Amino acid sequence: MKVVIIGGVAGGATAAARLRRLDEKAEIVVFERSGYVSYANCGLPYYIGGAIADPDALTLQTPESFFSRFRVDMRVRCEALSIDPERKTVRVKNLDTGVEFEEHYDKLLLSPGAKPVRPRLPGAELDRIFTLRTVEDTFRVKEFIRSEKPVSAVLVGGGFIGVELAENLRELGMEVTVVELSQQLMGPFDPDMAAFIHSEMREHGVRLALGRSVAGFERRDGGLEVLLDDGTQISAGMAVLAIGVAPDTELAKSAGLELGLRGSIAVNDRMETSVPDIYAVGDAVQVKHSVTGRDALLSLAGPANKQGRIAADNICGGDSRYQGSQGSSVIKVFGMTAACTGVNESAARASGLDADTVILSPMSHAGYYPGGKLMTMKVVFEKETCRLLGAQIVGYEGVDKRIDVLAAAISAGMDAVRLKDLDLAYAPPYSSAKDPVNMAGFMIENIAKGLVKQFHIEDIPGLPRDGSVTLLDVRTPAEYSLGCIEGFINIPVDELRERLDELERGKPVYAVCQSGLRSYIACRILAGHGFETYNLAGGFRYYSAVVRDRRLTEQASACGMDK
């Protein structure tokens, strides 16, 4: 059996290694149009910033090491031009010599990946404008910074690459502005959770131009002028287009393969395309989202590697199935870690799911052990069934641990209440006896059993201020004096039982504290005395962070830029 693989990164390289482990006699040929195979896309920004010092560390394997260990014929700088499914051949061009040739296959695996979106803007071809997708792209950016020593950069796009590159360029001492079309960075996060990411970026000197788009570029005084849609101009020494990626599927399209979302390659759960003996994996393929069941595109390394393994199994006569993607991801944002899995609240509602959320601010480990740090967790679940839909966490320690537990729970089909029962490791330096994941389960159980009703920050502007409801802040007077929500009176939770006569019976009570815990206790006290109560999800800390972010974004929009 002869297997030809087009694309030698993530999915393609994984498939090649798995094929050899399953079939010692198969002939395996991989064509990769760049000069590198099995390289770490996710590490590219960190090489630019210097966190990864050795360029060789970016490549997990070389053509020589792959052949030595797996006897796989890895041919770099070779671009597949066309596929003839009838004759089972691939037309290939050697990019160094210009020579074209045909390669026969018994089985063909497509792993072409995705290509950076590069809009046709005036001046977009200028030599100070870059994209970041391949090792060669990374070396070009690194060499430009070394030789030209730009003092400022504009990053167009606020996704993973834009945020990671912003951090790494700031580490080099550059002034950095991120221009993002939507009103937030990091689309997989809800806007309220993105507020914490914005705060971390701003605290480290990154300027944010949210809700803006780039209209063009001009060369100016040895640098660039980046022209925004509102007429604002940003002077910069360089710019990086990190707008996103699109499936690289021209080859599949010309071969007559069935296509899906945004021109992606349609595959079944065996990673088979619509054409016999042709498989496809990675960023170029359409997958099922395992939470919503809808078709989706997810450009992540984890799914690509799993798909490569599954395709190899099936090429060798097995019956492996891809269970779908749920978008688990994590990102370092200066000192902060932000992670998510499943669907966020916005996506859940857009998919027609009747979603609710709990928001909590637990410590990363036991409060009595030194060094604990707060994290903010948002867990999304289906109201009627309590099906666990997704989670987002931002914080400084322990974020990756909790998101992985929640990702596993979603994958296992657990309902959200079951989170309370998980037997998770505990020692004071690492966690609490009631882990934050358990706490989320307790909160969801309370909602499911009707022990507490919530209100959300979106509801606050519409709360009556005419005396028909009681707005109650149960923090200490000292906390209250440092900031409160307009219209909320202060009665500390520990004084509440003795001061019940200050609350008019028959009126609903909307309670708030710093994190939501004390106000939950207040709600239970009041419910025990016949009051109808509602607890603010996330508490005042969460509320103030979101409101502050919205105010800063609005101010920046009014004056033209973050200050």
At 555, the pLDDT band (50, 70, 90 cuts) reads confident
In this predicted model, what pLDDT tens digit does every residue of 472-510 receive, in sequence order? 999 999 999 999 999 999 999 999 999 999 999 999 999
CA gap 356, 382 in Å, rounded: 6
Provide the pLDDT for residue 284.
95
Q: Strand 89-94 relative to strand 100-104: parallel, antiparallel, unpaired?
A: antiparallel
CA gap 197, 183 in Å, rounded: 13
CB 255 within 8 Å of CB 85: yes
CB 397 within 8 Å of CB 420: no
Between 56 and 77, residue with greater pLDDT: 77
- Report which residue type is found at 549: D
Q: Which of 42, 316, 340, 484 does the annotation list as catalytic?
A: 42
Phi, psi of 520 (to 5 degrees): -65, -45
pLDDT at 60 over 90: no
| Residue whose pair of structure tokens reads 């997708």 in the numeric block | 133
- Report which residue type is found at 384: E
Lowest-confidence range among 44-58, 82-96, 212-226, 422-436?
A: 44-58
CA gap 446, 121 in Å, rounded: 53
Provide the pLDDT for residue 560.
58
CA gap 5, 275 in Å, rounded: 15
pLDDT at 42 over 90: no
Q: What is the mean pLDDT of the segment spanning 408-433? A: 95
- Report which residue type is found at 389: L
pLDDT at 563 over 80: no
CA gap 409, 416 in Å, rounded: 8
CA 70, 75, 77, 81 dihedral sign is: negative
CA dist 64 → 37, 61, 67, 70, 421 (Å)? 10, 8, 5, 10, 50
Provide the pLDDT for residue 474.
98
CA 210, 215, 216, 218 dihedral sign is: negative
CA 46, 52, 55, 59 dihedral sign is: negative
- Report which residue type is found at 417: V
In this predicted model, what pLDDT tens digit does every residue of 309-357 receive, in sequence order? 999 999 999 999 999 999 999 999 999 999 999 999 999 999 999 999 9
Provide the pLDDT for residue 559.
65
| Residue whose pair of structure tokens reads 């606020």 in the numeric block | 158
The proportion of the chain whose per-residue pLDDT surpasses 90, expressed as a percent, equals 90
Q: How many helices (H) and strands (E) does the chain have?
A: 14, 31
Q: In the predicted model, what is the mean pLDDT of the chain? A: 94
Between 404 and 115, residue with greater pLDDT: 404
The proportion of the chain whose per-residue pLDDT surpasses 70, expressed as a percent, equals 99
DSSP 3-state of 404: helix
Print burial letters for 74-93: b (CB count within 10 Å at least 16), e (below 16).
bbbebbbeebebeebbbebb
- Among 311, 298, 318, 331, smallest CA distance to 43 is for 331
CA dist 393 → 211, 233, 369, 424, 473 (Å)? 24, 35, 22, 18, 26
Q: What is the mean pLDDT of the segment spanning 271-282? A: 97
CA gap 83, 89 in Å, rounded: 6
Residues pairing with 171 in the sheet:
none
At 424, the pLDDT band (50, 70, 90 cuts) reads very high
In 183-277, the DSSP E strands lie at 207-210, 214-220, 223-228, 233-236, 238-241, 245-247, 265-266
Q: Strand 245-247 relative to strand 114-116: parallel, antiparallel, unpaired?
A: antiparallel
Provide the pLDDT for residue 554.
85
CA gap 458, 543 in Å, rounded: 10
What is the H or E stretch that residue 210 is in?
A: strand 207-210
Q: What is the mean pLDDT of the segment spanning 435-447? A: 96
386 catalytic per annotation? no
At 429, the pLDDT band (50, 70, 90 cuts) reads very high
Q: What is the mean pLDDT of the segment spanning 130-151? A: 93
| Residue whose pair of structure tokens reads 């050899």 in the numeric block | 20
Residues pairing with 28 in the sheet:
3
Provide the pLDDT for residue 314.
98
CA dist 222 → 218, 238, 363 (Å)? 10, 10, 49
At 557, the pLDDT band (50, 70, 90 cuts) reads confident
Provide the pLDDT for residue 78.
97
pLDDT at 254 over 90: yes
In this predicted model, what pLDDT tens digit does every residue of 358-391 receive, in sequence order? 999 999 999 899 999 999 999 999 999 999 999 9
Q: Strand 175-180 relative to strand 152-156: parallel, antiparallel, unpaired?
A: parallel
Q: Which residues contact 235 (CB under 8 A, 6 or more apart)?
A: 152, 220, 223, 224, 225, 226
Provide the pLDDT for residue 561.
60
- Report which residue type is found at 82: S
Written as one string, the DSSP assignment of 138-197 is HHHHHHHHHHH--SEEEEE--SHHHHHHHHHHHHTT-EEEEEESSSSS-TTS-HHHHHHH
CB 170 within 8 Å of CB 177: no
- Among 339, 346, 341, 292, smallest CA distance to 458 is for 346
* DSSP percent split of the chain into helix, strand, coil, nearest 5: 35, 25, 40
In 448-532, the DSSP E strands lie at 454-455, 470-473, 489-490, 509-512
Provide the pLDDT for residue 59.
81
pLDDT at 147 over 90: yes
CA dist 244 → 161, 170, 324 (Å)? 8, 21, 22
CA gap 493, 522 in Å, rounded: 6
pLDDT at 61 over 90: no
Provide the pLDDT for residue 176.
97
